[in-house]
Structure 1
Amino acid sequence: MSSSSAAFRRGAFHRRLVLIFGLQLVAVVIACLMGFYDVAPPLAVLALIVITSVLAWLAARRQWRPVSALARVISGWNEQQPDLDSLEPQRLPRHSDADLAELARGLHVFASRVADYNQRERYFTRDASHELRSPLTIIKMSTDMLSDEPALSESGQRSLGRIRRATRELEAVVESLLILARESDNGQGEHDFVVNDVLRRVLEDAREGLHGRAITLQLDEPARFALHGAPRVFAVLCGQLVRHAGQHAAGQGKVKISVLPGAVEVSGSGIGRATNDASHEQGFELAIARRISERFAWPLEWGGDDHEGIIRVRFPHTVPVTE
């Protein structure tokens, strides 16, 4: 047994409490007997009982001090700047209870793993952001240059269009995954933005992604409101829902996006059939949308029937539009 282990004895805290309150009980009994046999006046007996109780309380409070110190460390814990040394069992007072030392040791191991996880998360998202976005940028530049080639055949133009659509879809996927991978990511660049304006840009990108399919995207704006947050996150959420609706629309379908007071609705044929099954997690787009809605407290609701379904996103905290 090491010296550090020898200093921490299991059950020491309970034994000391038993000793403290046992001595208090003996002192109270003696004081009561002294008063009963008129050995001491009642005021002296009362004073002795009060003094004994105060001393017992101070002694018990001193035994509880290491627990209070550990609780203060946990309550003031900063995940961004963790002080792992403060959870070292060696920082506890000598002869602390072994159970408290085990608790401190377990918290130290857990905090170390969380700190390592946060560091790996930062490294991964930083590298992934660079390594994934750089090739996408090169692909977009190359397709723009190829589109200006006059000698490009019709089949080449179609292939170029497919490459562009696949690139935009991959950009949306990368953007979504990077937002969800960063636990502390709030979308960056928070400010007030009008959802109607962002939705128009989302639909423009969606139309390009659905190029070649006879699907109509319609924006209905019976309301107009703003949000305080990151437009990028809002655009990714709505873009995933529109992509999901477009992929499940059959034939010459129509997908309608409606801006309602404090909500955005996406409706179309095939949505109800896809979302009313299992746990509403059919499809990668819906899985991403659900996780973003949970992260930013924008609840998703499903409605409609097998013919036409509705996905509604509610925004509890809206901002009035000032123009």
Structure 2
Amino acid sequence: MHDAPAPVSDITYEDLAQLEQEFDDAELQTLREQHKIYAPLYKKRQEVVAKIPNFWALVLEQAPTEFENYVTPSDSQVFAEALKSIEVERFEINEPNGSPRSVVIRFRFDPNNEFFEDEVLEKRFWHRRALDGWSGIVSEPVKIHWKKGKDLTQGLTDAAVDLFAARKKQDAAAQNGSSNGSSKASKASKITKLPEYKAILNKIDTNTEASLSFFTWFGFISSHGYVTAEESAEASKKEAEKREKRAKGEKVEEEEEAEIDDDDDFFDESEICPNGEDVAEIIVNELWPQAIKYFTAAQEADDDDLSELSDAELDDDDDDDLDEPVDIRSLVRGKGKKEQNGNNGSSASPPPKKRRT
């Protein structure tokens, strides 16, 4: 008995690639339509929750476990005492050559906070395409002006800013012909010799606790390596040409792997927040759209904690204290109810250290 011949399909790689592109286009169109519907609602929500003390701090404390892995007790203290609001905006959604996937995430703080001089910490993420076929989000390190002795990253974000600036300067010199050798290996070798590169590796090695801070996220660049707007435009143009050929039924010849001016190894070694893209996605796709649900869940959890108190414990509590509104700051720090007098007015102790997995 002979095996039946395997069925032959007339579906080509070009057919599948074209279909995949159509799915991608549909997703982008969905983002644009959702933006039109949700934008006014988000604006209304911001106006409402601005009247609720510590709303966003409590939302962060009730975030998914995946997000908690990137927030230390010290970070929670900053959020509890200083965070005023969080905003997410798709800043390229109306630009002809922009991407609706590009987002800016803003953290607004009390201007008189004790931690840093900044009132707003803004992190931009551009959705770009690389010449090697990769596409995803890239960002630039954000300078945080920490007050003396308050830097939770122990200089890591400053080091990321310095290294990024040094790399841009080196790239500019290479483009102007003042740098010998432009191959990927040659360029990566030059970058690893930068004093800023050595400095950041030293800080990463010697500041393991500081590297756990959420605020290192402001130094995140990319899981792939930084992609400039110029490279993205060139890569997108080539991809559009390929797509046009596929739409016409023409066979697309895959180009031989080109020499890409890219530094994956360099950024893999010096990235101070390797999972920064995951953090951004949680904020954009979870915390931002479902903020009210997280806040409500926190309030319900606090009510449950109060209901579990024994009659004796309730009798021991001062009636006036029970009638007071819940101290959200204490709740954010891991306490279900306001600290009682007798602790010298000190705030609640932070929860146990959360470590990244």
TM-score by length of 1: 0.30
> Going by fraction, where is helix more abundant, 1 or 2?
1
TM-score by length of 2: 0.27
Higher relative contact order (CA 8 A, sep 6+): 2
Which is greater in Rg?
Answer: 1
